[in-house]
Amino acid sequence: MFWFTYILQSKTTGKYYIGSTNNKEKRVNEHNIGKNKSTRNKGPWETVYYEEFSSRMEARRRELKIKSYKGGNAFKNLITS
């Protein structure tokens, strides 16, 4: 089983959401149907970036690292690469 760290962007607001999961398609769908409180009523959401990992811990670590520089040049470089 693979784990993913992902970045979503709202098509309506342009805002970003960073998360991790072991099922990207299911998780994006959950964001789009309002199952996540922080993304509810702000979609539709689309995946703009993701990375694959072999463990949940690695994916979560990467999620926290990306969140630590959200909005900075490192974040911009990720979503434009």
* pLDDT tens per residue across all 81 residues of the chain: 899 999 999 999 999 999 999 999 999 999 999 998 999 999 999 999 999 999 999 999 999 999 998 778 999 898 887
CATH code, domain with 12: 3.40.1440
Which strands make up the sheet holding 16-21, listed edge to edge?
Answer: 16-21, 3-10, 45-53
Distances in whole angstroms, Cα of residue 71 to Cα of each of 24, 32, 35, 61? 23, 23, 25, 18
What domain range is 51 assigned to?
3-80
Please count the structural domains in the chain: 1
Omega before 44 cis (within 30°)?
yes
Residue 72: the pLDDT is: 87
Helix (H) or strand (E) holding 51: strand 45-53
